[in-house]
Structure 1
Amino acid sequence: MALTLDDIRAAQTRVSPHVLNTPFVPSRTLSDICGCEVFLKFENLQFTASFKERGALNKLAQLDTDERRRGVLAVSAGNHAQGVAYHAQRMGIPATIVMPKFTPAVKVERTRAFGANVVLHGATFDDAREHGMRLVAEQGFVLVHPYDDPQVAAGQGTIAMEMLAAQPDLDAMVIAVGGGGMIAGMAVAAKALKPGIKMFGVQTERFPAVFNAKRGTDHASGTATIAEGIAVKSPGAGNVEIVRSLVDDCVLVSEADIERSILMLLEIEKTVVEGAGAACLAALLAHRELFSGLRVGLVLCGGNIDPLVLAGIIERGMVRSGRLARITVSVRDVPGALASLTRVLADNSANIEEVHHQRAFTALSAQYTEVDVVVQTRNAAHIQELVAALVAEGFDARVH
């Protein structure tokens, strides 16, 4: 891929009047937790809640009159779709967006709200891409590729320029990687402006194509991830070349790492990110030894997460941290037994969320019933205090 700092500077001139120069600020709390100086680039604050606007706009701004008349087509899991749709609408260019069928509804509806014709096709990004290529060939659309295009990568590279302008003493940047457009553009810009800076790519364990290319491994790709924005099996060939030459290392993170990071950013920074947007923080938490003592810039690349998925992550995070527990208690099936149980929980400062009686599906004698109680708690120690208090009152209690 022929991509230079001059290309990225030209892209910055085109896009800067129309996208946010998003905040890039330190996080004292995350720095203490991660053992390095953490700076956050809030790309989730862009109008479409993603960095993808930059590359899409840089591409659209260079179309000639005939290309604008023919209209554009993009294949996207959501964020690139919104960036293309929004700026195409703003510029009066017809846009068709092809998305996998299982794209989160919030991304589909927002893309339609920007005036694009949305086509849902296939179970994966690669299925949708194949269909999109057929439409381009049949109907003459101009393809706006989400990552395998130097003009798109140049637009994404403007992120690195803003980060170094705000914090010139950065030691490293950590970037989520799917198709590789963002890390390619950012690596070209950052290494040209500051050759000694370290560039790290992050992928999910379920979609490790760029990691494989960088490390020479052959980890298999999966079928689903909470970070669907970087769920790409076939990254851009030009982007991979740049990763091999300019990126210092790539790391993998688990689904649990990403969920934890989404919740930490919500609780600590009061900001909502999607799975891909949390991947860089997940890397700091999972690979602390790589970043110890460094000044590290993270790109919170997107915030388009399905509210139901976010609710599930919050609840699961509360379970992992000991703030939500399900306790099964065996009680005599007589009047007042449940009242006695809830009294013990109340006396020990547990707030009850759910109560479920189980009479039929149990091996207990007919005189007893099982009660599942979901309670809000302070921490894991508090849960054990509750169990001990229940046992002291004669209940048979266990935690799931």
Structure 2
Amino acid sequence: MLGTRLDLDRIHTARRRIDPVFLDTPMYSCDALGRGLGCAVSVKLETANPVRSFKGRGTELVTSLLAEQGRTAVVCASAGNLGQALAWSGRRRGLDVTVVASRRAPATKLDRIRALGAELEVVDGDFELARERAVDIAQRRGIRLLEDSLDIETCEGAATIGLELAGAPFDTVLIALGGGAMATGVGYALKALAPGTEVICVQPGGAPAMTRSWHERRVVTTESADTIADGVAGRYPIPAVLDDLLAIADDAVLVQESSIIAGMRLLLEHAGLVVEPSAALGVAAVLEDRDRFAGRHVVTVLCGSNVDLDAYHRWVRD
């Protein structure tokens, strides 16, 4: 069907492995938000679960497989949300979880990783340095390294969102783009089950590596990432994930920081939702190109709500 690493049968199997607490998240048409944006808007609320992000779908799949294999430990690098999800899923199955994160990650995310029982190692540097350290730990301890987006379970776990979206009446889905797990997973499921759906990936202009790579059809890296959307601030796209994205996405766009903040404010004012910056990327895309979406019915996946409240208050009040 689609020339990717993903498989629809495995995605259906993944759904049966994932704790139901992460499945069938709320989705509804938000008329007030739609009036503010000039199009019909539905929101898919991936924040309504114990780790407040979509990442639990993938970590449930990974940890269930590790437990079946008799494995006892796992390590990952995380900007925050994956680490929380892995800690939650690993604790349920008696796994020792180590998370490596950047000291720049929001304190609220780091605190929740610790609270969920994971061993947290904080490095000076960005996510890419954390990833290098996680690789080193996995090799030294001989344990499983979970690599977000590269490990197909993270993509196919996220793809279960697409299964839930496939029967709904809309024509465009807006998906936050970072490493690519959610974009490739959700996009794949929709292209398989609702091929007429337009899949648009949205990334901050301050962290554009994957979007530039999609447009140039080759891996493009950046020397730095500068965005409040910490959850999608990678600099080194994974070649296999880019190949999947090229087969799935209809477009990839960049948005400004001011639009991300405006999107967060609109979600608070019109939907009563507190979200982290990455979750507002879809709304930001509509704000920057209203004519493109006028008269259409779009769905935006609200991927996380683990936000530092002090920073959030500064953003939405300014």
Report the alpha carbon displacement of residue 67 of structure 1 after superposing the two structures with TM: 4.9
Inter-partner Cα distance in structure 1 for 2:223 and 2:10: 33
1:11 match: secondary structure: helix
* Distance apart, 1:68 and its partner CA: 2.5
8 Å contact 1:258–1:279 — kept in the other structure? Answer: yes
Report whether the alignment pairs 1:292 with 2:301. no
Cα distance in 2, alignment partners of residues 15 and 32 from structure 1? 36
Over 3 Å counting, the alpha-carbon distance change for 1:74 and 1:67 in structure 2 is farther
* Residue aligning to 1:304: 306
TM-score by length of 2: 0.94
Residue of 271, 274, 287 corresponding to 2:273: 271
Kindly state the Cα deviation for residue 19 of structure 1 after the two structures are TM-superposed.
1.6
SS of alignment partner, residue 22 of structure 1: coil
Report if the CA contact (8 A) 1:206-1:221 is conserved: no
Selected match of 2:54 from 51, 56, 75: 51
8 Å CA contact 2:225–2:234 kept in 1: the answer is: no
TM-superposed deviation, 1:263: 1.2
Q: Aligned partners of 1:67 and 1:141: how far apart in 2?
A: 12
Instruction: Kindly state the Cα deviation for residue 221 of structure 1 after the two structures are TM-superposed.
Output: 5.5
Paired position in structure 1 for 2:65 = 62
Given the superposition, is the C-alpha separation of residues 16 and 66 from structure 1 closer, same or farther in structure 2, using an over 3 Å criterion? closer
Correspondence list, 1:17-32, <5 A: 17-32=20-35
Q: CA deviation at 1:88?
A: 0.4
In structure 1, the partner of 2:185 is 185
Question: Aligned with 2:20: secondary structure?
Answer: coil
Q: Does 1:38 align with 2:41?
A: yes
Give yes or no for contact 2:74–2:145 (8 Å, CA) kept in 1: yes
Question: Contact (CA 8 Å) 1:205, 1:252: kept in 2 or not?
Answer: yes
User: Which of 1 and 2 has higher RCO (CA within 8 Å, sep 6+)?
Assistant: 2
Q: CA deviation at 1:236?
A: 2.7
Matches for 1:335-350 after TM superposition, within 5 Å: none
Q: What SS does the aligned partner of 2:95 have?
A: coil
Over the matched positions of the two proteins, sequence identity in percent amounts to 33
1:228-259 Cα shifts (integer Å, max 9, x gaps): 00001122322211211110000101111111
Alignment correspondent of 1:133: 135
Instruction: Return the alpha-carbon distance in structure 2 between the equivalents of residues 20 and 146 of structure 1.
Output: 20
- Over 3 Å counting, the alpha-carbon distance change for 1:207 and 1:223 in structure 2 is closer
Q: Provide the residue aligned with 1:209 in structure 2.
A: 209
Deviations 1:246-297 (A, max 9, x none): 1000010111111111111111111110010111111111122332222111
Could you tell me how far apart the structure 1 residues matched to 2:142 and 2:222 are?
35
Measured after TM superposition, the shift of residue 219 of structure 1 is 8.7
Distance 1:283 1:125 in 2: 25
Deviation at 1:311, TM superposition (A): 1.3
Change (3 A) 1:81 1:219: closer
Whether the aligned pair in 1 keeps the contact of 2:262 and 2:316 (CA below 8 Å) is no
Equivalent residue letter for 2:140? E
* Alignment match of 1:255 (pick from 230, 254, 257): 257
Structure 2: gaps (5+ residues): none
Name the CA distance, whole Å, in 2 between partners of 1:38 and 1:193.
Answer: 21
Give the equivalent residue in structure 2 for 1:151: 153
* TM superposition shift of 1:35: 2.1
Q: 2:275 aligns to what SS in structure 1?
A: coil
For residues 131 and 66 of structure 1, what CA distance do their matches in structure 2 show?
25
Q: Distance in 1 between matches of 2:223 and 2:252?
A: 16
User: What secondary structure sits across from 1:223 in the alignment?
Assistant: coil
Aligned position for 2:198: 198
CA contact (8 A) 1:173 1:199 kept: yes
Q: Which residue identity lines up with residue 226 of structure 1 in the other structure? A: I
The counterpart of 2:15, out of the listed 12, 15, 23, is 12
Q: For residue 223 of structure 1, report the CA deviation from its aligned partner.
A: 3.3
* Preserved CA contact (<8 Å) 2:51 2:81: yes
Which region of structure 1 is more displaced relative to structure 2, 192-201 or 2-11? 2-11
On the 8 A contact 2:225/2:235 being kept in 1, the answer is no
Supply the distance in 1 between the matched residues of 2:237 and 2:157 (Cα, whole angstroms).
17
> What is the count of residue pairs matched by the alignment?
313
Secondary structure at the aligned position of 1:68 is classed as: coil
The letter for the 2-side match of 1:92 is G
RMSD: 1.6
How far is the alpha carbon of 1:108 from its aligned partner?
0.5
Letter in 2 for 1:125: F
| Equivalent position of 1:398 in the other structure | none
Q: Which amino acid in the other structure matches residue 205 of structure 2?
A: E
1:234-253 pair list within 5 angstroms: 234-253=236-255
What is the distance in 2 between the residues matched to 1:150 and 1:11? 11
Q: 1:231 aligns with which of 230, 233, 236?
A: 233
CA contact 1:101–1:123 (8 Å) conserved in 2: yes
Partner of 1:88: 90
Distance, in Å, in 2 between the alignment partners of 1:12 and 1:288 is 35
Could you tell me which residue of structure 2 aligns to residue 355 of structure 1? none
- Unmatched 5+ residue regions in structure 1? 317-400
Q: CA deviation at 1:143?
A: 1.2
Matched residue SS, 1:84: helix
User: Residues of 2 paired with 1:121 and 1:80: CA distance?
Assistant: 16
Tell me what 2:176 maps to. Answer: 176
Residues 148 and 235 in structure 1, CA contact (< 8 A), matched pair in contact too: no
**Separation in structure 1 between the aligned mates of residue 114 and residue 27 of structure 2, nearest angstrom:** 30
Contact 1:207 1:221 in 2 (8 A): no
